[in-house]
Structure 1
């Protein structure tokens, strides 16, 4: 009886082995004919036998399964995710076996998949198909985990979609792994065009310099992306109503980087988005102390003061911004807005006057004040228009002022400019 049982067991094992080989050959045959539907069907049949496969057969099956599911890039997202997982399992299994029969082919297949997904994702991003781009970049990252920049690209694409839940997941992964994103970039000046150009790597740049095609080699470290990542995490939390999580994310980041002006500004913006204007102002003032040469900070404090109905304080900040950056066009615009804002009170006083001689005299005095307001605003509007020739709001305001002042020639010239701008805008 014992011998009979052994014989039956041997027959069962032989039968199982034959079935495994048969299913694996069926997958191979379908793949050879690019019949991916039959290949996937055969994969399903073989999968039921995987538990009894030896490691060598498992490795082969995992490789064939990945090919069948990937289907030369035509597989569904779920299929391709499973194909990537299958390749990862194959590499892990063969590493444990100490025999890399399929790993090299798997690496070649992975590289081909990466190149296809990068091309597809870059094209999708360029065409503003951010959903496809995000999924593609995330798959590239999963296939090449050391290249964390692709997870960053996936997060950026998801934000642009916008798909905030997915973006938050990616950004938190980046934050938790301590992703910085700063990298060395290589530049040199083209001797023919005299323009500074970037290179993919140092050796290419140095070779071009040696060949006397470029000069003035320069290495520049790009900015860290930590501040941007934390800011986006916080802003997503704000959009989801998770204000405490938003501020917690900022607090953690700033405790690690207390001198990072980018993180400070990000926290300020979160408070502004939450409506905490006093805290925003406090942090912005702290930022101006840390970065006194930043015109944008002064301008933003001016905007905040204006929104708080404190135009004279706003004026001081706008003037500081211009002192730092004489070409800060928005500050010129807003100074004109503050000056012209004084007109409303004058008009109210004029409208409240009667017809007595005293009232008529007062009316003329107020009219002079109003005229002076116009003349005070004109230089700032002209400068704003000079710095930004498409500034239609500045042009329209100037046109109306010239009309009110009776300066007919200037009015006509500005009217023609406004019409030209509007026609150009319609054409675009």
Structure 2
């Protein structure tokens, strides 16, 4: 009885082995015919029993499986990349353990080729605004080729573009831990015929082109390090995620890395305001202003932050300084005007709450006079701006609204005419 049972079991294993080899051959044939879906179906029919097969059959199964999913990935099935990678890695794992390497070399080549496929697919994803999918593929490419850390950097950028901040933060933290620099050497020379500076692939090409007499003035430059940008982005993302304590520490790290970045100071100041530390806010704003007193964009940004925080006098001072440095700074002029309009609008609620008593009527007239004076201040700013920008639609539209609110029909109609209405 035992002998018969043994023979029966042997026959079963023989049948299973035959079935596995048959399905593998069917899968390979389907692949050659370009039918990856049929090949996948053949593999799925034996997937549950492949664990009991010999090492050679297992390696063959996972190698074919890798080819199937690699083909599906090229045809647009994003999840297939991960399946292909894990299959090829399984081939290498099995053959390393068995000491019999039949498919490992090809598997490694396929994995190397998949890095390019992942990058190309990620570029397509980003062009189609599928930023998370692009970030996932770039990270897979980095995992396949850890020496190419730039793929991790691009993965973080893709995640930020899609506002997937937690995903981006993980990538940036990994870059920080790796001390990723990202700077490279660039090689340039001037085309003698066109006079334009052109970038070369490497130093050898640059030297050859200069020696040929068609180029001159060779230059080797190192591109800026990306480290300060990475640390800065970590701080900004922690702020975005509302993790304020981590954000403050990140700003400390970022400013140590890049002490001359005034935007870091502004962002840190904004965070302190959010936390209720107005003294630290004012201190940092003064520090930022002192760092670049003649930079109109900085003064404008200081104005924007103060305006957002309701500090209208401080905002006006900054906007006026920006206009003083750059008299044609339209956005600063528009925002300066808006500070007066906003303050005037702030009086309307109290005006509307007043009753009909003599005291209330007197108070109403007083507030209306203040409001109108503030609106006129806003109009004066824009009339001055209009001298250098007579066709600016933003200035004209805001002026029309102010004169409309003032009931100044003459100026209202004048601006409407300038607007072509």
Q: 1:239 to 1:405 in 2, by over 3 A?
A: closer
| Aligned partners of 2:69 and 2:83 also within 8 Å | yes
Give the Å deviation of 1:122: 1.8
| SS of equivalent residue, structure 1 residue 245 | helix
Q: 1:378 aligns with which of 362, 368, 383?
A: 383
- Asked if 1 retains the 8 angstrom alpha-carbon contact of 2:336 and 2:381, the reply is no
Matches within 5 A, 1:278-357: 278-292=279-293, 294-307=295-308, 310-322=311-323, 328-337=329-338
Q: CA deviation at 1:83?
A: 1.1
3-state DSSP class of the match of 2:79?
A: helix
Q: Which residue of 1 aligns with 2:34?
A: 34
Query: C-alpha offsets along residues 187-212 of structure 1, whole Å, 9 cap, x if unaligned?
Result: 44555655555455555555555555
Measure how far apart 1:274 and its partner are: 6.2
Distance in 2 separating the partners of 1:132 and 1:203? 38
SS, match of residue 34 in structure 1: coil
The whole-number CA distance in structure 1 between the counterparts of 2:399 and 2:48 is 77
Instruction: Quote the residue 1:171 is aligned against.
Output: 172
Q: What is the correspondence of 1:111-260 to structure 2 with a 5 Å cutoff? A: 111-189=112-190, 191=192, 194-199=195-200, 201-204=202-205, 207-210=208-211, 215-251=216-252, 253-254=253-254, 257=257, 259=259
Provide closer, same or farther for how the CA distance between residues 214 and 338 of structure 1 changes in structure 2, counting only shifts above 3 A.
farther
Q: In the alignment, which residue of structure 2 is the partner of 1:63?
A: 63
Alpha-carbon separation, structure 2, partners of 1:91 and 1:122: 29
Tell me if the contact between 1:20 and 1:46 (Cα under 8 Å) persists in the aligned partners.
Answer: no
- State the distance in 1 between where 2:174 and 2:255 align: 19
Q: In structure 2, how many angstroms separate the alpha carbons of the residues matched to 1:195 and 1:145?
A: 37
Distance across 2 between alignment mates of 1:171 and 1:238 = 14
Counterpart residue number, 1:426 = none
Question: Distance in 1 between the 2:101 and 2:277 partners?
Answer: 60
Cα separation, partners in 2 of 1:86 and 1:292, compared to 1, 3 Å: farther
Aligned partners of 2:304 and 2:315 also within 8 Å: yes
Cα deviations across residues 163-201 of structure 1 (Å, max 9, x unaligned)? 334333333333333333333344445556555554555
Q: Which residue of 1 aligns with 2:110?
A: 109
State the 1:77 CA deviation.
3.5
CA gap 1:86/1:249 in 2 versus in 1, 3 angstroms: farther
User: What secondary structure sits across from 1:395 in the alignment?
Assistant: helix
- Mapped to 2, the partners of 1:250 and 1:21 lie a distance apart of 60
CA distance in structure 2 between the aligned counterparts of 1:99 and 1:180, rounded to whole angstroms: 41
Aligned residue pairs, count? 401
Aligned equivalents of 2:254, 2:378: Cα separation in 1: 45
Q: Distance in 1 between matches of 2:257 and 2:23?
A: 58
Q: Is the 8 A contact 2:319 2:332 kept in 1?
A: yes
What is the TM-score when the length of structure 1 is the normalising length?
A: 0.69
Q: Counterpart in 1 of 2:356?
A: none
What is the RMSD of the two structures over their aligned residues, measured on CA atoms? 5.1
Deviation at 1:415, TM superposition (A): 4.1
Gaps of 5+ in 2: 352-360, 364-368
Q: Which residue of 1 aligns with 2:43?
A: 43
- Are residues 61 and 411 of structure 1, via their aligned partners in 2, closer, same or farther at CA, if it must alter by over 3 Å? same
- CA distance in structure 1 between the partners assigned to 2:401 and 2:240 by the alignment: 40
